[in-house]
Each structure stands twice: as C-alpha cells, then as structure tokens.
Structure 1
Amino acid sequence: MKIIGKSIVAEVHKQARVSERLRMNYNIHESLDEDIHKLLNSLQPETIMPIHRHLHPSKKETFVLLQGAIEVLRYDDNKTIVERHLMSSESGNIICEIMPGEWHSLRVLESDTLILEIKKGPYIPFQDIDLLK
C-alpha cells in the first residue's frame, strides 16, 4: 500500500518553487516501464509548458486538479488556440482528458497548483515531431 499525504505534497511544492522549470513531479509508479504512469505535478505560475502532443494512439493524458488553478489550452497546427478551459474549484472543472494527437499546453494560474497526471506508459521522451514550434 502506498499513501501520499501532506508531507510529500509539501516537499514536491518546495522542490517546484526552487526548480529552474518551476515544476516538479512525484512519481507514484515505481518504474518508467510500467503500463500506467501516475504522478503528482506541482506547478508554479511562471512555468513554461511547451505546446506538445502524444502521437501514440493509446497515449491519452488525464489531469485531475487537486489544488490551485490551471487553464488547459488546445491548439491547431498553426499555434492558434482552438479551445481553452479553466480548471479550478470555482469553475467546477477538475478533470481533463487530452486525446492522442491533440496539441495542448497548460497555463498555471495559482502558486502550488497540484495535479494528478495519469497516462499510459512506458515513458517515451518528446521527439521533435511531438513539439509545436
């Protein structure tokens, strides 16, 4: 059994605040080769999330908002925003599923925003084809 509580969340937030990328994840899965990846992401407002996609047909990406606020953005091939959704306790939007092939990014609106991210493994680093430049 694995329990994740306030002390782990506080440590992940602390690491995100001092990280060059202004975000930090805590892997719940034990190996990058596992079939399902579950991780906490602590996000700070100035973090840069590149516009990207996951081309593999089974690579849906699900975010569950646990704390804070984010704006989820979907783009077309010309970097034009075609859809945006506020995720916050006030908006009531707390879960977002990104489909394979969708260009997307996040904009962090509050310090110490925390999401649970769930996606199919294994981990595959971004390739040039996965980033919208």
Structure 2
Amino acid sequence: MRGPAFIDHALFAGLTQQAANSPRLRHHHGFHTMDEPCHRLSIGMQPDTYIAPHRHLDLTKAETLLVLKGRIGVLFFDEQGGLTGQRLLEAGGDCVGVDFPPGLYHSLVVLEPDTVIFECKAGPFQALQDNEYGPWAPREGEPGTQAYRDWMAARFES
C-alpha cells in the first residue's frame, strides 16, 4: 500500500520546471497506476504549449479539470470548428474548473507561466483516435500550431 501523495507548492515547482524544460512545455505527474479505474494527475504547463482541439468519444471518458495555480482559457467548438463557447479558469478566481462531457470538442490555452491543473478521468488510458481530433485545427507538431494557439489565446485578451 502506498502512502498519501500531497498536492503542494513543492510539487507545483517541480512540475512547472520540468514543463519549462520539456519540448511540449508540459509535464504530467500521475497519482494513479495505469490499471486503476480513476486516473488522477497534475499537469504543469507553460504558455506556448499547444493542446489540439479534441473530444473523447468513449462515453466513459468525461473529464474534469481544476486550476491549482495560474490561468487557462477553455474553448468549445462545434463539428465544423466554430467557436461555441469559452471560459477563463483561474486559481482563486471566479471559476476554477470545468467538467467536459464525452463528445464535446474542447481545447485549453495556457495564459500564465507556471500554470498547474489537476485532471481526473476514467481509466484506463486510451490515446486519442484520429476521429477525436478537430479536423479543422492543426495537430501537435504540425505547421500552424503556434498561430492557432495564438488565436485561441487572443480570445482571452481584454
């Protein structure tokens, strides 16, 4: 049996430093084993990370995110890539989290350096399939990701 795992500022500092040193500008810390039915993780992220718009078609894959440190923008899209909604999530702010139902296209944009989120989703891990990515947006590593990330971030500028 393992002992308790604490979600504290020491964890945040390590995650955000590892994110800054990562080519993807994000780093995960899992609190679960891969065979557990509930996957729980903290993710340190930096502003230029790119998370392609996607959805989870598996009806068991609702996803909950909470911002523990920093700020992110959440965006929602229709089947054609039209923006249907957005919300600012901020640690200590008016809204700190979101619960995504399966099938909803969504993405995140990091708006503050050293942001940390907590994610919870049913296991086991399943890599996204091609039909779960928004076909109108570039995938991670493809040309145009920086421009698309910048477009998403601009939705949250005052």
TM-score higher than 0.5: yes
In the alignment, structure 1 segments of 5+ residues that lack a partner are none
SS, match of residue 118 in structure 1: strand
Any runs of at least 4 consecutive aligned residues in structure 1 with deviations exceeding 3 A, and if so which?
Answer: none
Which of residues 9, 16, 20 in structure 2 aligns to 1:17? 20
Higher relative contact order, structure no. (Cα contacts within 8 Å, ≥ 6 residues apart): 1
Indicate the structure with greater helix content. 2
Which of residues 7, 10, 13 in structure 2 aligns to 1:7? 10
Q: Paired residue for 1:60?
A: 62
SS, match of residue 7 in structure 1: helix
Indicate the structure with greater strand content. 1
SS, match of residue 29 in structure 2: strand
CA RMSD of aligned residues (A): 1.2
Separation in structure 2 between the aligned mates of residue 73 and residue 127 of structure 1, nearest angstrom: 20
User: Looking at CA atoms only, which structure, 1 or 2, has the larger radius of gyration?
Assistant: 2
Separation in structure 2 between the aligned mates of residue 43 and residue 116 of structure 1, nearest angstrom: 11
How many residues are aligned here?
132
Identity percentage of aligned residues: 35
Please list the CA deviations of residues 11-57 of structure 1 after superposition, one character each: whole Å capped at 9, or x if unmatched: 1111100111101110011x222100000011111000011111111
Separation in structure 2 between the aligned mates of residue 91 and residue 8 of structure 1, nearest angstrom: 21
In the alignment, structure 2 segments of 5+ residues that lack a partner are 136-158
Q: Paired residue for 1:92?
A: 94
